[in-house]
A and B are shown apart, each in its own frame.
Chain A
Amino acid sequence: MIRSLYVHIPFCVKKCLYCDFNSYSMSSGIQDEYVEYLIKEINSLGIDRFQTIFVGGGTPTILSLESMEKLLKELSKFSPMEFTLEANPGTLDDDKLKLMNSYGVNRLSIGLQAWQDRLLKKLGRIHTLDGFLNSYNMARRHGFNNINIDIMFDIPDQSFEDWIETVEKVKGLKPEHISAYSLIIEEETPFYDMNEKGLLNLVDEENERNMYWFVVESLEAFGLMQYEISNFSIPGYECRHNITYWLNEEYIGVGAGAHSYVSGVRYSNKKGVKSYIEGIKTGNAKENITFISTDDEMSEFMFLGLRMINGISKERFNQRFGVDIYKVYSREIEELKELGLISEKDGFIKLTKKGIDLSNQVFVKFLRG
């Protein structure tokens, strides 16, 4: 059963300097047109219920009130249990929040990234700290009681003190959920070019790891428990939608460039806004169709599942593949245990602390070929 739907809104006021997501700065006319076709795609799914819906971007809250209403109305028909919308400071207002509330959006994810205005500027964000606080408080006033805040470390020029300040102040806001990422310099972003030219002052690996383990310990002491490499929540407030990915379960993505995993096939929609619209018109918006063999499925199951702090349930592996995990991966598991990168307890195999730092080294072991 397909439990999760992802909805992509590929628009931003302005792209952040580090961002390689599928997002563009486009006129509201095109945005409205896009939503029309997005709804067309949603209507064509032939599914009437999703347990989770995640509207991400880009900046979903950039949409006009009218377009947003059309879209949310359509999505509310799926009566999701968890209904998340990414909201960016500077694009949120009372009317939009009211609308979200009325159509059953029950979780907000707000990108703050850093507490310091000078770092926000460095990242190319369009908002200041005050802008964020405004949005956050507004959302609380509207009764949203499940909010995630994104924060980021290893930002150029960010000191350890800056990071401590970000973590401590964000804790003070008492969000139900925090995502804490280290900045990744992705190709084809302005940051990539700047980094190539040596213009970014980034911390070394040792400090980066210290920042990471600081946030883990600080949040856990506060009751925000780590449940995935980069995600923390009050118990019971884990993001179910994202857990779908990590459990390697099926999902559907709609909108430009959105990815789907259905019946052993992974595919994505056309990436550009125009080519997506054209694709929906002609009934041919899919591309990159990949059939996932059992070997691939097992690898994916492993490297996604190990991202979760509890790790992989041996029983779930057995149920899904009809074979014992040790029949398939005994050598890999033994080697990794020997290296101190994974451990096993109560039927779960999980990353150790060292394994988290070197998680790619663990994941590649489970790739075949």
Chain B
Amino acid sequence: MSTERQRRIRNFCIIAHIDHGKSTLADRLIEMTGTLTQREMEDQVLDTMELEKERGITIKAQAVRLVYTDENGEEFILNLIDTPGHVDFNYEVSRSLAACEGAILVVDATQGIQAQTLANCYLALDHDLEIVPVINKIDLPSARPEEIKQEIEDVIGLDASDAPLISAKVGIGIEDVLKAVVEKIPHPAGDENAPLRALIFDSYYDPYKGVICYVRVMEGTVRKGTKIRLMASGKDYEVNEVGIFTPKYLETSELKAGDVGYITASIKNVKDARVGDTITESERPAKEPLPGYRPAIPMVFSGIYPADSAKYEELKEALEKLQLNDAALTFEPETSLALGFGFRCGFLGLLHMEIVQERLEREYNLDLVTTAPSVIYKVIKTNGEIIELTNPTNMPSPSEIDYMEEPIVNASIICPSDYVGAVMELCQNKRGVFKNMEYIETTRVMIHYEMPLNEIIYDFFDALKSRTKGYASLDYELAGYKESKLVKLDILLNGDPVDALSQIVPEERAYARGRAIAEKLKEIIPRQLFEIPIQAAIGSKIIARETVKALRKDVLAKCYGGDITRKKKLLEKQKEGKKRMKQIGTVEVPQEAFMAVLKVES
């Protein structure tokens, strides 16, 4: 049962691999439908964060309402939900998908389907979304649209015979995309009079309005004054405002089943309006929440410290503010002998971690020292106690440990068949267990491995890219825990252990990694006034040693001609460099040393 209003609505998102043209297509759709004037348009208009534009990625979901008039003069409302595309944000993606009836699948006519696209595409199929394939970048000389169509049919099993051939960059075929959206994607349904059920697919914190919930109304109606309840958190609020995205916020009188829009209700914290939660009415609650809610679970942990220890409070406030908008970020205070006071932070993945770090540094102007990321290890002690270990420093002594477990993921890698050998060798080196391999077309394969997560968060992705000349793509999902022989690798500078440099590593790798880290640190730590021994140790056993020789010469030979300013600038630069060092005992250690220790090939 659906109303005439609903028949004129389409809710959809765009699925694409990074750089396949998702944001550009979104820009063109917005332009074509006259949603924004030329003057208001800018590139990647939906990616509002500076960081998103710079990296060409989408971190937070966005939505925009497009009004499209077809050739018969019929008007349709197209709600485009722009989703993040990275594996770190899989859950967020799944909620955005759940808010839609269909998805445009953008495939690069020169590159074909990638692991990430495929993963999101399967996710969309899981949500019963109608998928509209679109072949982009057909203006490029190396475009091979017919092969790509075949690939879409073979790999995903979608009919791609009439897929629009477009170039979002130069604006070819955009009208065809809009037409296909209207024709192929089902309109929403849902009883406007039933008890309210609205899915939160993202939420933002606004200092004036409180949390702005981005919602898709599945059933019922919500308007200003409606008393609502968030079903997961159980909290009640009164709606202050509802509206739609133009893409700016535009207040409307109500949102009804099938609509995409926003709700504000003086909610103080995004934690109380988490992605995936269901909004219902307090007085007439729905029997069941919408399916699929789960709280975000951090998988990767790292210590974040202010470079200047006087900035601890500032860092704390910045993290609190970021958390207002990022329910997946967790943090708790910790202390390091080497780095002082800081926080152990939990992230969805490495990209999430990098984003948080960059935002702290840029938006809050903080200078940070970050320790190598770690996963959560399970330590089963001889007394039966189980510890979830997120900081290597807290690992109990070997005599107290019965055994340890580490998280495992199912990884899928798509690459040209020429690189199968290289990829398999890499996965094997990273303790991967081969599962199976399938050809997705004559020259491309998809390889499945079971791998320890901690191998992936090290330099895996970089290594994969370099071994496949950038042609491989990766996707993975958590697959539980497995028993593993792990040891704590300590690093000593000038004879003293530096807790922030400790790592948990597989026993069989400890020697190689210890050597590699010592060598790497020798490169990174600048020569100082005295000789600095660098040692790697397991327990009390030294397994590697390198030495940073004492500095012998640091002179400005000439100083005349009166250009004192330039000499001073050189010295200031040197001083600036010193300030970016962390003083550990008598040794000055560059901040990047703490991260660099994980990017070593062993």
Contact = CB atoms under 8 A, between A and B. Distances in A.
Interface of A: 6, 21, 56, 181-184, 205-206, 208-209, 229-230, 242, 245-246, 251, 253, 258-261, 266, 268, 288, 290, 296, 299-300, 303-304, 307, 339, 341, 356-361, 363-364, 367, 369
A259 B558 contact: no
Nearest to B554: A360
Interface string B542-576: 00000000011111111111111101100110110
B558 A205 contact: no
B558 to A, nearest CB: 6
A358 B553 contact: yes
Interface in B214-255: none
Contacts of A251: 562
B562 A261 contact: yes
B564 A299 contact: no
A182 B561 CA distance: 17
B578 interface: yes
Contact of A360 (B562, B563, B565, B574): B574
A6 B560 CA distance: 11
A359 B562 contact: no
B553 A300 contact: no
B478 interface: no
Count chain A CB atoms within 10 A of each CB in B529, B555, B557, B562 and give the residue with the most: B562
A367 B553 contact: no
Interface residues of B, number: 23
B555 A56 contact: no
A208 B555 CA distance: 11
Nearest to A290: B565
18 contacts: A56-B561, A183-B557, A205-B553, A209-B552, A230-B557, A245-B560, A245-B562, A259-B562, A266-B565, A268-B563, A296-B568, A356-B555, A358-B551, A359-B554, A361-B554, A363-B556, A367-B571, A367-B575
Contacts, number: 90
Contact of A361 (B529, B562, B563): B529
Contact of A253 (B558, B562, B571): B562
B558 A21 contact: no
B529 A339 contact: yes
A229 B565 contact: no
A359 B529 CA distance: 12
Contacts of B563: 259, 268
Interface in B155-210: none
Given A209-B553, A357-B555, A358-B555, 14 more contacts: A6-B561, A182-B555, A184-B558, A206-B552, A245-B559, A296-B568, A300-B568, A303-B571, A341-B529, A358-B551, A358-B553, A360-B556, A361-B554, A367-B571
A363 B564 CA distance: 13
Contacts of A230: 557-558
Nearest to A181: B557
Contact of A363 (B552, B560, B571): B571
A219 to B, nearest CB: 16
Nearest to B564: A300
Contacts of A182: 555, 557
Given A56-B561, A245-B562, A268-B563, A208 B568 contact: no
Q: Is the interface of B mostly helix, strand, loop or mixed?
A: loop
B572 A359 contact: no
A208 B561 contact: no
B467 to A, nearest CB: 28
A258 B562 contact: yes
Contacts of B553: 205, 208-209, 357-358
Contacts of A229: 555, 557, 559
A364 B575 CA distance: 6
Q: Is the interface of A mostly helix, strand, loop or mixed?
A: mixed
Contacts of A183: 557
A204 B557 CA distance: 16
B573 to A, nearest CB: 9
Count chain B CB atoms within 10 A of each CB in A56, A303, A339, A363 and give the residue with the most: A363
Count chain A CB atoms within 10 A of each CB in B553, B554, B571, B575 and give the residue with the most: B553
A21 B553 CA distance: 24
Contacts of A253: 562
Top 3 nearest A-B pairs (CB, nearest first) are: A259-B562, A360-B554, A205-B552
A182 B557 CA distance: 6
Contacts of A206: 552
A251 B565 CA distance: 14
A360 B575 CA distance: 10
A242 B559 CA distance: 9
Nearest to B550: A358
B553 to A, nearest CB: 5
A333 B484 CA distance: 54
Contacts of B574: 360, 364
Contacts of A6: 561-562
Nearest to A154: B557
B559 A259 contact: no
A244 to B, nearest CB: 9
B288 to A, nearest CB: 62
Contacts of B560: 242, 245
A182 B555 CA distance: 9
A299 B575 CA distance: 13
Interface string B574-586: 1100100000000
Contacts of B529: 339, 341, 358, 361
Count chain B CB atoms within 10 A of each CB in A261, A356, A359 and give the residue with the most: A359
Nearest to A267: B565
B505 to A, nearest CB: 35
Contacts of B575: 364, 367, 369
Contact of B556 (A56, A300, A339, A359): A359
B329 to A, nearest CB: 33
Nearest to A365: B575
Nearest to B579: A369
A299 B565 CA distance: 12
Nearest to B555: A359
Given A307-B559, A360-B571, A364-B578, A245 B554 contact: no
B530 to A, nearest CB: 9
B82 to A, nearest CB: 44
A261 B564 contact: yes
A259 B567 CA distance: 13
Nearest to B556: A360
A246 B560 CA distance: 8
Nearest to B529: A339
Nearest to B567: A303
A361 B553 CA distance: 9
